[in-house]
Structure 1
């Protein structure tokens, strides 16, 4: 048996059949410093409530899988040091050994599906890293989207990645990639990656219907909804591209690899943009939370 705990808010929502949106926890432990990490997490949770759904922040705490965190648990996680970053490969081991870990996109999808949650809001998914043809550094998020039936709302893939290869892998894996309200795929901090989306939908209702239709057809996996960052918050890709290249060179010079790459790059871009990248990150996560809540409400109609 998996030690599974629902927060009081989530338990009530399940009993009442309310719309629920899953949230990852690595944004708390590996994305921002305390107390800004906890403040942002609470803002995102409140945005979901204001949009008519219930937030379910997911984490493993002392060997138990928690679906929804209480305010005290959220604060404790935000202050904690040395928290494991969990994906598909190490989630079960963390639970079995009584550890504490924050869930990535892949692990959050697994936990959401396991607990009956169909929609998940995040910032951006992982994908194919630059020079992956040498390093084979490809996020487990892509494979997870191909096999776990959760609709993931993100501002595309993180802009530090090789975006053409990332979306090519998603196509090969049969993952629907749906741009919301535009024809171009967004690139996290930027509204337009320069890539055309394979699918476009303009309403939460259409996205929810596509989710249900995949289930009815017996198709495995979920779907990725690429929701562009609000126009007033974006950083154009022309301004970001040279900064990303600089951060990548520094990571290579310093021998940073594996799970440490993404946190390093995000921190360097925060420094190089003088905090603007973090402001954009918060804006896009809030935007994704609101759309995810609307999709979740449509699914329970």
Structure 2
């Protein structure tokens, strides 16, 4: 077994919870540094942690600070990530060793949050939306590392679906090829981040946190090494019009193509552009879906903890 102790720094509260089989929920930090403006990013991050506590679990915001893989950040560290913003490196799998070796900072994506959560022994992770296969990927080969990580890291990821800027059909095909189950919480249709509708179906509809926890624990007992993706639709009152979002995304993608924006810059560019086109409504939708996912993740983590005690 690999010894991560030189690089991994687990917050004492989180370490105690893991040791005593208490529920823990991992949270990413890219949404803090790259997803929202300051101070809204810090306010949102702290509220997400409160929501998780209110629902009986321990929050563990994950980041890389001075080369240390942090499983649980202090309020001061969250403030630092929020204030520094895009000055913090956006850290995917390819960046992890470089940032750790050079004692640099990194805001973790879905990929690196899953990795560090798994290293620390955290089983449940709440995020906004996952990355996926980008539109036009048949030419650009632009496919998020999130999908590969879901294929090989046994963490349950709760999200509001794949980001609406993506090719959702190809994203589902990619996950199917890699054996990753896509579960819909109370829905047969894949939610598309800002909207509850996409026109694509998930693999299975699941109606309770207890059932989701049972599926995860069964996967662990079977020795399956892939993650499980839970798609949780944005609350109805915050869901944006499907056609409006599609129009905004198409405009944003066309402009990105004209400007030759690609690689790790494309997702933040497109999300910012959609925010501008929708008059800022997409930012509020983004915040509300993150709160919704945090609550569900905490409830699942509590059920996983109960099942693990049996």
Please show how residues 62-141 of structure 1 align to structure 2 within 5 Å: 62-80=66-84, 81-141=86-146
Give the C-alpha shift of residue 14 in structure 1: 3.3
Alpha-carbon distance in structure 2 between the residues aligned to 1:262 and 1:66: 24
* TM-score when normalising by structure 1: 0.98
Find the counterpart in structure 1 of residue 23 from structure 2: 19
Partner of residue 35 from structure 2, selected from 14, 31, 34: 31
Alpha-carbon distance in structure 2 between the residues aligned to 1:200 and 1:189: 20
Is the counterpart of residue 156 in structure 1 residue 161 in structure 2?
Answer: yes
Please show how residues 97-246 of structure 1 align to structure 2 within 5 Å: 97-246=102-251
- Secondary structure (helix, strand or coil) at the match of 2:107 reads strand
Partner of residue 58 from structure 1, selected from 56, 62, 68: 62
Alpha-carbon distance in structure 2 between the residues aligned to 1:274 and 1:87: 30
Please give the per-residue CA displacement for 1:75-125, whole angstroms capped at 9, x wherever unaligned: 011111521111111112211111100100010000000000000000000
Greater shift, 54-63 or 74-83, is seen at 74-83
Find the counterpart in structure 2 of residue 265 from structure 1: 270
Aligned residues: 301
Query: Do the aligned residues in 2 keep the contact of 1:7 with 1:69 (CA within 8 Å)?
Result: yes
Is the counterpart of residue 7 in structure 1 residue 11 in structure 2?
Answer: yes
5+ residue gaps, structure 2, are none
Is the counterpart of residue 247 in structure 1 residue 255 in structure 2?
Answer: no
Query: Do the aligned residues in 2 keep the contact of 1:2 with 1:65 (CA within 8 Å)?
Result: no
Please give the per-residue CA displacement for 1:51-81, whole angstroms capped at 9, x wherever unaligned: 1101100000001111111111110111115
Give the C-alpha shift of residue 233 in structure 1: 0.3
5+ residue gaps, structure 1, are none
Greater shift, 104-113 or 209-218, is seen at 209-218
- Secondary structure (helix, strand or coil) at the match of 2:59 reads strand
Greater shift, 125-134 or 13-22, is seen at 13-22
Q: What's the Cα RMSD here?
A: 1.1
Give the C-alpha shift of residue 17 in structure 1: 3.1
Give the C-alpha shift of residue 16 in structure 1: 4.1
Alpha-carbon distance in structure 1 between the residues aligned to 2:242 and 2:108: 28
Query: Do the aligned residues in 1 keep the contact of 2:18 with 2:122 (CA within 8 Å)?
Result: no
Alpha-carbon distance in structure 2 between the residues aligned to 1:126 and 1:177: 14
Find the counterpart in structure 2 of residue 293 from structure 1: 298
* TM-score when normalising by structure 2: 0.95
Give the C-alpha shift of residue 154 in structure 1: 0.3
Give the C-alpha shift of residue 192 in structure 1: 1.4
